[in-house]
Structure 1
Amino acid sequence: MSIFKPLKGFTYNKEKVDIKTVIAPPYDVINEEQKEQLYKSSEYNICHIELPKGEDSNKYLHAKELINSWIDKKILLQENDENYYLYQQTFNLEGQLIQRRSILGLLEIHAFEDRIILPHENTMEGPKKDRYSLLEATQANISPIFCMCNDETGDLFQLLENYSQTQPTFTTNDVTETQHDLWKINDVQVIQKINELGENKKFIILDGHHRYTTALNYKNNNPNEKNHYVLTALVPDSEPGLKILPIHRMLTSTYTIEGALAVLEKDFEINKVTQDKITIHSAYDTFEENNSQHGFLLTDNKQFYTCMIKQEKFDKLASQSFEMNLDTFIVDEMAIKKMLNEQNIDYLPEQNVNFVTNFDEITSMFNQGSNNLCFLVQPLPIKTIVDFTERNMVMPHKTTYLYPKIGSGFVINKF
């Protein structure tokens, strides 16, 4: 089994920087406009290292120079002793205030074949090369990967909840008004308890597959003891604040909604959603509340249809492929690829498909005329992720969206 252990982390010096101005979301959700805003917020914003300026290999050299200079200037301070860090995010989701707690530490790296660290989703190749170059240059984990472990007794959740009642090391809010609290855990007995609770576990990667694969490749190419661990935010599966949002598909094509329905009617039971003053929010609520079958909600922003796979069809295909338990798989394979006549491709074509997670973005894209159809799916239960990993299977690209993302810049592992 793997080892989860404390670290001598680097954190920002509160006497020299305003924490709010130096943290950032993980690199893979930052668009160009957000990147420029983060650059401007502070010369020490972590985005300067996560997404460094420059061309080709020069940008990685720039990131290396930056992190070393910040350490020299004591902008970043390293702990004298090994600690864990309790990291709590308080966020608003559909009008409800939710807290999610995880613990930051170092996770021992294992090959996926060892069945100790388990991926749950396919990843594309490009970002891995970029992350490898950054890791090689900086010799640092800037952003943690996000993993889940079994907590059948609830002991790890209870420990984190109890510790969160103490005074945090710092508190700050980001631009989305998500509150971030960080506690340094340096109590020897608490550290020992976490060590024990982390023993004999398997770890499912929820987010950060590229970062983990990068760390694995780097370890294999540089088999030094210090390279055998990766910065990880570990959440117990008993955490009620662990939320996975659905990833909807926006399609650009020549199809009208009537044309799409004509293609789909062979395999799906189709029903029109009729409401007074119907909106995407109200139609989705109806879809989510009334459907226990697999399928999706189809809309052109004017009309709304539930498309649920016919039971006979589902039973036949599900006996051949466990992936039929994923609504995103059904949308991708039985709707979008079929409509585009592209059934032999691994990934949906970017020129035709956008992936979105919130209704406001969907409405905006419809208003801009950039997409003409949207396929909305239901949230994925945590249990489905566990079922897939236990079967040694990974989910299709863009199946899950962890919300909120683990922030970048709170703790850095420099090796």
Structure 2
Amino acid sequence: MVDIRPFKATILKPGLAIDKLVCPVYDTIDAAQYQRFASEKNNIIHVTARRKDTDRDEFIEHAKKNLDRFIDSEVLVERERPAFYIYGIMYTLQPEVLAELPEKDRRSRYFAFGLVTLAKVEDLGKGNIAGHENIFEINTRERYRLMKACMMNFSPIAAEYSMLDHALNNLFEEYLEFRRPDFVPNPEKPPLVDVTLNGSRHLLWEVTDRTVVDKITKIVSGLKLLILDGHHRYTASNMMREKDGIEYTMMMLMEGEDRALLLLPWHRAVRNFSRENLARKIDEKFKIVWQSDKNSEEFYSQLRHRGSEFDVRLGMYDGEKFSVLKADEKSVLELSKKRGEVAGLDLIVLHDWLINPLIRGRPEEDVSFNASPAEAVARVDSKEFDVAFLLNKISIKDVERKAFVERRNFPQKSTLFLPKVAEGIVMRRIE
């Protein structure tokens, strides 16, 4: 059983200009974004994100000092009563990202719900909570040190559950008295937080009604959870459980069947390899089924086409032309049997056959992860990288299969989960 419980949230004090005080989740912030958000001295970024050129020890000390300042000056305040929280995120997608999706999944606006709760921590994959991505140990240690020094969770770990009858989301809509994607504010149930960040609107409602809390607890108790966003934070929370006896962490639970929950690919831009070796590898394992000097709807149609579960297709841009590479199905089948994996074969093929054998340097320096095809293409056009690989999205069902059936992890940066929570919407003081 998933063990959840209400808690007293820490939030930015109502009445403040909180649009200036929230920021994106720490691991999505680049140098330019850091500079923009950090220009406001009370922005939560000063306790959640390390500037890339800052020493890790210095960052932890800096974060603790700023957190103490925020609490002493009541920039941050704690709610009086334990509660569950409904976190709503309204967002849109850029045209180049929409183009990646099948037409049936394209919408002018998405509105996702999540339940923010404390959840009892357990070893990943050994009970009711599983992960699906590999992590970097050094980043986990940094998150652990930050959480322990500050005794705070600064943003909820996002996890997915399967619920075909949509009971939890239906309960939220009944409680708030509107149906998504429409939003009709109820003056009797105003949100604690209502703020727009980078075009996405973040809303937080507090649920203290005992009857509703009990209903939520009963609905959630039999679920299995799959972490979508926050593998490092969850692993750090597990370290706190083992080392410090802290048994609960803050999570946001989202329904996998929700049409507003999207898993998109991280596209790769790659450098420091031999073009001759790349051409040889493509000739050995792939055939080019489509090619053009333009990135068109036909490109995505060819990329998404699936003749079978072993029909692996990769998009590629080399600075001059876009190509769709179709992997040899017999070779893909052999690779699948050898590894005992079916979910995520596109990523396995890309890394095993093209990226890992070809890069001369270190992957963390010579592979760039990009949220949109346009970003990956721009990195090639700027000559910063030599080639971009554009990928199909992975389905929720494939991620569940990887975690609960195959019990394996995808490579780092395999799935881009949308929507993203923001730092500063809901926090939790660790007691």
Calculate the TM-score normalised by the size of structure 2: 0.87
Quick check: 1:2 aligned with 2:25?
no
Runs of 4 or more consecutive aligned structure 1 residues displaced over 6 Å after TM superposition: none
1:45 equivalent among 43, 46, 53: 43
Are the counterparts in 2 of residues 82 and 186 from structure 1 also a CA contact under 8 Å?
yes
1:360 Cα deviation (Å)?
2.5
Residue deviations 1:353-410 (CA, integer Å, cap 9, x gap): 1111212212321221011111111000000000011122211222111123211111
1:67 Cα deviation (Å)?
2.0
Give the equivalent residue in structure 2 for 1:340: 359
Are the counterparts in 1 of residues 125 and 131 from structure 2 also a CA contact under 8 Å?
no
Quick check: 1:321 aligned with 2:333?
no
Give the equivalent residue in structure 2 for 1:399: 414
Quick check: 1:137 aligned with 2:137?
no
Give the equivalent residue in structure 1 for 2:234: 212
Give the equivalent residue in structure 2 for 1:345: none
Query: What is the CA RMSD across the aligned residues, in angstroms?
Result: 2.1
Once the two structures are overlaid, the 10-residue window that deviates more, 58-67 or 96-105, is: 58-67
Aligned-partner residue type, residue 166 of structure 2 = G
1:113 Cα deviation (Å)?
5.3
Are the counterparts in 2 of residues 323 and 329 from structure 1 also a CA contact under 8 Å?
no
Supply the distance in 1 between the matched residues of 2:256 and 2:83 (Cα, whole angstroms): 22
Quick check: 1:171 aligned with 2:198?
no
Structure 1 SS opposite 2:112: strand
- Structure 2: tracts of 5 or more residues without a match: 96-107, 179-185
Are the counterparts in 2 of residues 6 and 84 from structure 1 also a CA contact under 8 Å?
yes
Question: 1:390/1:128 Cα in 2 relative to 1: closer, same or farther (>3 Å)?
Answer: same
Residue deviations 1:259-308 (CA, integer Å, cap 9, x gap): 6333222222322324xxx5325454233343442120122132222211
Quick check: 1:408 aligned with 2:431?
no
Equivalence map 1:5-20=2 (5 Å): 5-15=5-15, 17-20=16-19
Aligned-partner residue type, residue 132 of structure 1 = Y
Question: 1:253/1:57 Cα in 2 relative to 1: closer, same or farther (>3 Å)?
Answer: closer
Calculate the TM-score normalised by the size of structure 1: 0.90
1:160 Cα deviation (Å)?
2.4
Give the equivalent residue in structure 2 for 1:108: 120
Residue deviations 1:296-354 (CA, integer Å, cap 9, x gap): 01221322222112121122222222445421111010112233379xxxxx6133211
1:206 Cα deviation (Å)?
0.6
Supply the distance in 1 between the matched residues of 2:233 and 2:242 (Cα, whole angstroms): 14
Supply the distance in 2 between the matched residues of 1:181 and 1:325 (Cα, whole angstroms): 34
Quick check: 1:296 aligned with 2:322?
no
1:116 Cα deviation (Å)?
1.7
Quick check: 1:331 aligned with 2:353?
no
Give the equivalent residue in structure 2 for 1:349: 363
Give the equivalent residue in structure 1 for 2:248: 229
Q: How many residues were matched structurally?
A: 400
1:55 Cα deviation (Å)?
4.5
Give the equivalent residue in structure 1 for 2:103: none
Aligned-partner residue type, residue 335 of structure 1 = L
Aligned-partner residue type, residue 216 of structure 2 = I
1:162 Cα deviation (Å)?
3.0
Are the counterparts in 1 of residues 273 and 359 from structure 2 also a CA contact under 8 Å?
no
Are the counterparts in 2 of residues 88 and 180 from structure 1 also a CA contact under 8 Å?
yes
Supply the distance in 2 between the matched residues of 1:284 and 1:184 (Cα, whole angstroms): 45
Structure 2 SS opposite 1:265: helix
Structure 2 SS opposite 1:266: helix
Quick check: 1:80 aligned with 2:55?
no
Question: 1:62/1:260 Cα in 2 relative to 1: closer, same or farther (>3 Å)?
Answer: closer
Give the equivalent residue in structure 2 for 1:199: 221
Structure 2 SS opposite 1:120: coil
Structure 1 SS opposite 2:423: coil
1:188 Cα deviation (Å)?
1.9
Supply the distance in 2 between the matched residues of 1:388 and 1:320 (Cα, whole angstroms): 16
Question: 1:284/1:246 Cα in 2 relative to 1: closer, same or farther (>3 Å)?
Answer: farther
Are the counterparts in 2 of residues 299 and 373 from structure 1 also a CA contact under 8 Å?
yes
Question: 1:203/1:325 Cα in 2 relative to 1: closer, same or farther (>3 Å)?
Answer: closer
Aligned-partner residue type, residue 328 of structure 1 = L
Quick check: 1:24 aligned with 2:36?
no
Supply the distance in 1 between the matched residues of 2:126 and 2:277 (Cα, whole angstroms): 47
Aligned-partner residue type, residue 80 of structure 1 = E
Are the counterparts in 1 of residues 273 and 360 from structure 2 also a CA contact under 8 Å?
no
1:169 Cα deviation (Å)?
2.7
Aligned-partner residue type, residue 155 of structure 2 = S
Residue deviations 1:213-247 (CA, integer Å, cap 9, x gap): 11110121112xxx211111110122111101111
Give the equivalent residue in structure 1 for 2:99: none
Question: 1:284/1:157 Cα in 2 relative to 1: closer, same or farther (>3 Å)?
Answer: farther
1:172 Cα deviation (Å)?
1.5
1:158 Cα deviation (Å)?
1.1
Give the equivalent residue in structure 2 for 1:383: 397
Supply the distance in 2 between the matched residues of 1:182 and 1:138 (Cα, whole angstroms): 23
Residue deviations 1:74-112 (CA, integer Å, cap 9, x gap): 222211111111111111124531111111111111122
1:29 Cα deviation (Å)?
0.9
Supply the distance in 1 between the matched residues of 2:377 and 2:285 (Cα, whole angstroms): 28
